Every structure is written in structure tokens, then in C-alpha cells.
Amino acid sequence: MRWKCTVSYDGTPFCGWQSQANGQSVQDALEARLKAIFHRNIRIHGSGRTDAGVHARGQVFHFDADWKHETVCLLRAINRELPIEIQVTNVEPVPDTFHARFSACSKRYHYYFQLHPASPFEARYVWAMLSTIKIDIRRMQEAAKLLVGTHDFRGFAGKVLPKEHLIKTITAAQIFPQGNQFVFSISGSGYLYRMVRRIMGAFFWIGCGKWEVDFIQQRLQLQNLSIPILTAPACGLFLEEVRYEC
């Protein structure tokens, strides 16, 4: 039987989503819990990877295992001894054809930032930009609009893997205020390595006035690729939602 699970996590103490030999990952913690429940090794398959320090409210993974009790009992069993930074919020049986990664239609990320210092209770979850720098949010908002559409995003990739598909479709991108913070929300078919954080880094320089708004368009047209781009801190990034209904 195949199970689809939605999980939230604070990525601060983990080396990322994917299991790694030299560190504790979110995947490691979940697989250890499933092994304790089913008394065998269980491999889970996520919708995608998140880097060290990146958070999630709606990461999705699947695994295969027989379970003879009610679904709600499986949810309770998984959560019973997970680290406090991880919580599975939903479990449901799905057809064997479902795949957390390959069945996904789109993903939505939020990046949180603010123009003043962060309190100790905020610092893990927001990029607190230097308050001594004047930042024009309107310029950043105009730049975000240029992302919508189908583009080659290699200019915003942290690295490009061999044979990686570089063309991605962004269906929505906007920056809006939320309380005393701002949110960069982006939805699309897929993302390259560190793509969202590097876009956010470009927005920072645009907001400061160092770059013009059309730098985004130029980069999408594979111009100015030699100009280094700041990678925004991982702490502000959240995987909000993975959609499976196109």
C-alpha cells in the first residue's frame, strides 16, 4: 500500500531534506521513525529537496507499507517520537501510480524578509536585512513581475547539473507585506538549485538601487551571467505547498 504524507518542519537543526552521510536530515528522522513502526527499513520519496536551514509547511513524501489499522492511527504513530521540529500533518492512502516528486504539478515557496533587526524569536525564520540600508520595496515588487512566464533560469541557479532541464514556468510571483515583514511568494513548475534564494538576493540589490529592475529580464535572457548574485540566507525560505491537481 502506498501512503502520501504531508510534513512540516523547522529546518534549522537539519542538514537539509535529503539523507546525507555526514549529517542528520529530515528524511533520516522520518525513516528512522517508520523503521520503528514497521520493523524494517522504509525508504521515503520526497517531492523535492530543501537545503540546510530551509523550512517547510507543506513538504510531501510517499512510502510503501502495509498498515491494518485506521489511517489516523498511522498519523499518530509517526508523530509520536519524531523530533519536535518535525510534524506530519496528513497521511492518506494513494494509488501505486502516485509519486511525490513525479506526480507534482507545481510548488509554492514563500521567502520572508524584513527591514529591521529580528528578535530572538524571529531570527530562525526571516532574513533581517540591514536597517542602515535604504530599500525600495516597490522596485522589488516590479522586478518580481518579470519572473512570470516560461524562462531559462540558469542565470539564477547555484549550480547546474548535467542534463538538468533549465526551462521552468513560473505562474505567479509577487512581494507583499505581512505584519511587520514582507513575503516573496513564487509558484511554478519546478526550481533549480538555490534558484529562489538567488532571485531573492537579486531583489535585494535591486531594492538597494545597485541594480536596475530590468536586471531580472536581462538575466532571464542569459545576459550579464558573469555578474555574481547574492544567495539569500536559508532561514527565510519555506516550502509552502506542493500541488498535484493541474
C-alpha cell at 5: 504524507
3-state DSSP of the chain:
CEEEEEEEECCCCCCECCCECCECCHHHHHHHHHHHHHCCCCCCEECCCCECCCEEEEEEEEEECCCCCCHHHHHHHHHHCCCCCEEEEEEEEECCCCCCCCCCCEEEEEEEEECCCCCCCCHHHCEECCCCCCCCHHHHHHHHHCCCEEEECHHHCCCCCCCCCCEEEEEEEEEEEECCEEEEEEEECCCCCCHHHHHHHHHHHHHHCCCCCCHHHHHHCCCCCCCCCCCCCHHHEEEEEEECCC
Distance between CA atoms of residues 34 and 28, nearest Å: 10
Phi, psi of 125 (to 5 degrees): -130, 15
Annotated catalytic sites, by residue? 51
Burial of 104 (0-12, 13-18, 19+ CB in 10 A): middle
Return the bridge partners of 152, or none.
167
